[in-house]
C-alpha cells in the first residue's frame, strides 16, 4: 500500500519549483520530416513522467536527443538549469542522465556483475591503469547495490547472455542505475515481457522511483496509468496533451488519436 | 578453487621464465639467437593484442611503431657517443609514441575495417618516408651501428654477450607482459574490453570511448616500439623492411595463431609461426610459404580460438 498510493499523491509537496529537465522549442528534422517539432517540455524533480503516443510520434527521437545520441536541429535542452544541448552521450551520462534501451543493450559476454561494475566505474577510478579492478571495493559495492536494486544479486556471476529476457531487461535498468543518475530514462522497459515479468518490472520501477526522477516511454497503458504521476502525449512530433493519468484518460483529443482502440 | 588456479598460474609463469632463462646455456648459438628473436616478435604480437584482442580494434599499423622504435634507437646510438642503451630505449619509445599519437588521433575516429585500413595506410606512409629520406634514414640500406653496452647508468657497464643479451630481452619482455597484464585487469582495461563488447553502451554509461582508444593505441605503440628497440639492439641495424606492412600482417597472424585476448597466446603464436617457417623453409626452400599458408588456413578453420584460446578465461584472471 503504500508504494503506489505514496507515489500518486506526493508530487505537490515533493516537486520543487525549478524543473530538473526542460526543453525549449526542441526540433529535430530528418530531411524534410520534422520528427520533433518545437517541443516544450518540463519535468520536475522526483516526478515519474510517462511519454505515450502512436508509433512515429517522436518518443524515441525525444529520448535520443536528451541522451546525446541525436543532436537537435534547433531548440535547447536544460538539465538542472544547465544547457546540455548537443553534448556527447558520455558527457550527458556524466551530467546525471541515464537511459535504458528499447532493444536490450548489454555486454552479453560479461557476467551480470561485470555489466553493472563497468557502469559504476565510470564515476570513479575510470582511468586507473595499474591496479587490479577487484581491488576497488567501492566500485564493487556500488555494482552489487545496483544488482540488488534490480533483483539480480543472486545472478551476479551468470553471463548476461544466459539470463532470461526479463532478467536482461532488469539488468539493463541496473546498468543505468549503477551510473548514479538523477534522471533515468526508460525506453519501454517492459517490451517483450510476460505478464508476470511486467508486474515485477513495475514493482521495480516503483521501488527505484522513490529517490529518482523517471521518464518512461511505454506502450502498456496499464503500466503507464499505474506508474506515472503525469503523462505527456506525443503526436506527430508535437505535444498533444499533458496531465495526470485521469485527465489524459478523459481528454477527447487523446482518445481520438491514441486511446480509442 | 579460484585461489588454487591463481597459484597454478604463478607456478607455471615462474617455470616458463626459468626455462627461458636457462635456455641459452643449453642451446647452440643459432637456436639461442632464434629464441631471443621469438621473444622480441612475441612482445610485438603481445602489444598488438591489447588492440586486437582486448579493445577489438584490428591494427595493421604495428610495423610503423616497431620500425620507429628501431629508427629511434638507431638515432640515439649513432648521434651520441659512447652509445648508451637507455638513451636508445628512451628515443625508440619516444619515436614510437609520437607515431602512435599521430596515427591514433586520426584512425580512432573510425571503426572496424576502416580503422584497420587507416592504420595500414599510416604505416605505409612512414615506410615511404623512411625509404626515400636517404640522407637521414639511409634509405633502402637502412642504418647500422654498434651495440651499446649493458649498463646501469653511472654505476656499471659491460659489453653484451650472447647470454646477457638474451637475459636482457627476456627481462624486458617479462616485465612488459606483467605490465600489460595488469593494464588489462585494471579498470582502464575493463573499459577497453567493454568497448570491444559493446561500444555504444560503453559510451552511454559515460566513457569517452575515443579517448580510451587513443590511449590504447598509444600504449600498444609504446610496447611495439620497445620490441623495435630490442630488435635493433640485437641485430645492430635499422632497415625500412621492418616498417613495411608485411610485418604488421605477421603480427596479426601471430595473434590469430596463438589466441587473441590472452597476451601469452601471441607470444606462443610468434614462436610457433617462426619455428614453422624455419623448419618448412629447410624442406621446401623458396616455396615454404605455401605449406605455411595452408597450415594457417587449417588453423583458422579447426582452431579459431588459436593455440591458447582454450585457456583464455584462465589467463585473464
> Which one-letter DSSP state was computed for residue A3?
H
> Which one-letter DSSP state was computed for residue A219?
S
CATH of the domain at B236: 1.10.3470
> Which one-letter DSSP state was computed for residue B161?
P
pLDDT tens-place string over residues A175-209: 999 999 999 999 988 888 888 888 888 888 988 88
Contact A179 B197 (CB under 8 A): no
pTM for this model (two decimals): 0.89
Question: A11 pLDDT band (50/70/90 cuts)?
Answer: very low
Q: Which residues of B touch A128 (CB under 8 A)?
A: 186-188
For residue B203, the model assigns a pLDDT of: 93
Q: Picking from A9-18, A150-159, B59-68, which range would have the lowest pLDDT averaged per residue? A: A9-18
Query: d(Cα B149, Cα B165) in Å, to the nearest integer?
Result: 10
Q: By the CB < 8 Å criterion, does A114 face chain B?
A: yes
Partner residue facing A133 (CB), from B187, B200, B206: B187
Query: d(Cα B261, Cα B28) in Å, to the nearest integer?
Result: 33
Question: Which of B3, B187, B312 has the highest number of chain A CBs within 10 A, making it the mutation to test binding with A?
Answer: B187
Place of cell 630505449: B89
Q: Which residues of A touch B190 (CB under 8 A)?
A: 114, 117-118, 121, 133
Place of cell 534547433: A74
Question: B317 pLDDT band (50/70/90 cuts)?
Answer: low
Q: CA of B156: how far to CAs of A260, B113, B183, B284, in Å?
A: 89, 49, 32, 47
Q: What is the CB-side half-sphere exposure of residue B28 using CA atoms within 13 A?
A: 1
Whether the link from the prior residue into A118 is cis, omega within 30° of 0, is no
Alpha helices (H) along A45-152: 59-66, 89-95, 112-121, 137-149
Q: CA of B144: how far to CAs of B71, B134, B239, B247, B257, in Å?
A: 10, 14, 9, 20, 33
Task: Name the residue among B166, B186, B184 with its Cα closest to residue B174.
Answer: B166
Q: Cβ-count burial of A219 within 10 angstroms (0-12 exposed, 13-18 middle, 19+ buried)?
A: middle
* Residue in chain B lying closest to A125 (CA): B187
Contact B208 A88 (CB under 8 A): yes
Angle between helices B112-132 and B85-107 (to 10 degrees): 130
Under an 8 Å CB criterion, which residues of B touch A? 179, 182-183, 185-191, 193-194, 197-198, 200-209
Q: Phi then psi for B136, rounded to 5 degrees?
A: -95, -45
Question: B155 pLDDT band (50/70/90 cuts)?
Answer: confident
- Is residue B7 pLDDT above 60, yes or no? yes
pLDDT tens-place string over residues B178-219: 999 999 999 999 999 999 999 999 999 999 999 999 999 999
Question: Which of B200, B204, B218 has the highest number of chain A CBs within 10 A, making it the mutation to test binding with A?
Answer: B204
Q: Please answer whether residues B246 and B289 qualify as being in contact, where contact means their C-beta atoms are separated by less than 8 angstroms.
A: no
Q: Please answer whether residues A100 and A172 qualify as being in contact, where contact means their C-beta atoms are separated by less than 8 angstroms.
A: yes
pLDDT tens-place string over residues A43-90: 999 899 999 988 888 888 999 999 999 999 999 999 998 999 989 999
- Is residue B315 pLDDT above 80, yes or no? no
Q: CA of B262: how far to CAs of A99, B11, B98, B265, in Å?
A: 33, 18, 27, 5
pLDDT tens-place string over residues A95-146: 999 999 888 899 998 999 999 999 999 988 889 888 898 889 999 999 999 9
- Is residue B86 pLDDT above 70, yes or no? yes
Q: Please answer whether residues B40 and B97 qualify as being in contact, where contact means their C-beta atoms are separated by less than 8 angstroms.
A: no
State the residue range of the domain holding B203.
Answer: 2-315
For residue B313, the model assigns a pLDDT of: 66
Per the structure, the count of domains in chain B is: 1
Angle between helices B62-79 and B209-235 (to 10 degrees): 50
Question: B162 pLDDT band (50/70/90 cuts)?
Answer: confident
Q: Which domains can be identified in chain A, with CATH numbers?
A: 1-96+183-197+209-261 (3.40.50.300), 105-180 (no CATH)
For residue A126, the model assigns a pLDDT of: 85
C-alpha dihedral sign at B85, B87, B89, B91:
negative
Type and span of the H or E element at A165:
helix A165-178
pLDDT tens-place string over residues B27-65: 898 999 999 999 999 999 999 999 999 999 999 989 999
For residue A9, the model assigns a pLDDT of: 43
C-alpha dihedral sign at A195, A201, A207, A210:
negative
Q: CA of B295: how far to CAs of B43, B44, B303, in Å?
A: 23, 22, 11
Amino acid at each position: 500500500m503504500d508504494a503506489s498510493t505514496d507515489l500518486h499523491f506526493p508530487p505537490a509537496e515533493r516537486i520543487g519549483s525549478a524543473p530538473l529537465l526542460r526543453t525549449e522549442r526542441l526540433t529535430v528534422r530528418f530531411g524534410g520530416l520534422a520528427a520533433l517539432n518545437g517541443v516544450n517540455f518540463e519535468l520536475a524533480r522526483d516526478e515519474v513522467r510517462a511519454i505515450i503516443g502512436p508509433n512515429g510520434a517522436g518518443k524515441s527521437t525525444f529520448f535520443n536527443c536528451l541522451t546525446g545520441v541525436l543532436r537537435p536541429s534547433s531548440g535547447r535542452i536544460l538539465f538542472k538549469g544547465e544547457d546540455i544541448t548537443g553534448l556527447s552521450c558520455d558527457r550527458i551520462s556524466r551530467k546525471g542522465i541515464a537511459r535504458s534501451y528499447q532493444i536490450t543493450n548489454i555486454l552479453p559476454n560479461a557476467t551480470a556483475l561485470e555489466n553493472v561494475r563497468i557502469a559504476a566505474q565510470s564515476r570513479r577510478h575510470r582511468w586507473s591503469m595499474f591496479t587490479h579492478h577487484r581491488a576497488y571495493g567501492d566500485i564493487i559495492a556500488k555494482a552489487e547495490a545496483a544488482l540488488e536494486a534490480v533483483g539480480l544479486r543472486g545472478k551476479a556471476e551468470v553471463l548476461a547472455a544466459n539470463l532470461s529476457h526479463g532478467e536482461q531487461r532488469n539488468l539493463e535498468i541496473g546498468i543505468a542505475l549503477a551510473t548514479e543518475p538523477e534522471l533515468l530514462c526508460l525506453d519501454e522497459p517492459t517490451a517483450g515481457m510476460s505478464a508476470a515479468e511486467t508486474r515485477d518490472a513495475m514493482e521495480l520501477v516503483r521501488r527505484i522511483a522513490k529517490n529518482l526522477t523517471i521518464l518512461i516511454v511505454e506502450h502498456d497503458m496499464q503500466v503507464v496509468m499505474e506508474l506515472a504521476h503525469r503523462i505527456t502525449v506525443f503526436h506527430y512530433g508535437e505535444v498533444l496533451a499533458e496531465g495526470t493519468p485521469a485527465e489524459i484518460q478523459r481528454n477527447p483529443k487523446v482518445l481520438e488519436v491514441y486511446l480509442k482502440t | 578453487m579460484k585461489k588454487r588456479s591463481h597459484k597454478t598460474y604463478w607456478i607455471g609463469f615462474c617455470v616458463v621464465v626459468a626455462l627461458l632463462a636457462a635456455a641459452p646455456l643449453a642451446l647452440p648459438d643459432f637456436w639461442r639467437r632464434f629464441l631471443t628473436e621469438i621473444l622480441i616478435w612475441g612482445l610485438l604480437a603481445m602489444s598488438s593484442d591489447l588492440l586486437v584482442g582486448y579493445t577489438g580494434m584490428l591494427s595493421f599499423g604495428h610495423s610503423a611503431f616497431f620500425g620507429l622504435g628501431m629508427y629511434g634507437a638507431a638515432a640515439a646510438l649513432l648521434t651520441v657517443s659512447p652509445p648508451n642503451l637507455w638513451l636508445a630505449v628512451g628515443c625508440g619509445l619516444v619515436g614510437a609514441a609520437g607515431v602512435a599519437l599521430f596515427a591514433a588521433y586520426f584512425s580512432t575516429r573510425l571503426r572496424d575495417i576502416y580503422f584497420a585500413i587507416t592504420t595500414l595506410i599510416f604505416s605505409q606512409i612512414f615506410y615511404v618516408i623512411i625509404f626515400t629520406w636517404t640522407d637521414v634514414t639511409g634509405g633502402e640500406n637502412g642504418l647500422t651501428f654498434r651495440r651499446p653496452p649493458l649498463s646501469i647508468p653511472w654505476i656499471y657497464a659491460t659489453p653484451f654477450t650472447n647470454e646477457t643479451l638474451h637475459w636482457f630481452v627476456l627481462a624486458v619482455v617479462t616485465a612488459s607482459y606483467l605490465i600489460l597484464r595488469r593494464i588489462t585487469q585494471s579498470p582502464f582495461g575493463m573499459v577497453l574490453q567493454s568497448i570491444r563488447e559493446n561500444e555504444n553502451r560503453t559510451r552511454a554509461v559515460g566513457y569517452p570511448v575515443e579517448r580510451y582508444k587513443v590511449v590504447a593505441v598509444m600504449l600498444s605503440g609504446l610496447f611495439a616500439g620497445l620490441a623495435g628497440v630490442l630488435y635493433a639492439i640485437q641485430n645492430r641495424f635499422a632497415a625500412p623492411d621492418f616498417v613495411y606492412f608485411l610485418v604488421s600482417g605477421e603480427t596479426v597472424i601471430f595473434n590469430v595463431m596463438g589466441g587473441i585476448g590472452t597476451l601469452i597466446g601471441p607470444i606462443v603464436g610468434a614462436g610457433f609461426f617462426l619455428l614453422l617457417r624455419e623448419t618448412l623453409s629447410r624442406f621446401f626452400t623458396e616455396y615454404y610459404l605455401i605449406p605455411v599458408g595452408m597450415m594457417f588456413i587449417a588453423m583458422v578453420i579447426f582452431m579459431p580460438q588459436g593455440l591458447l584460446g582454450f585457456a583464455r578465461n584462465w589467463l585473464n584472471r
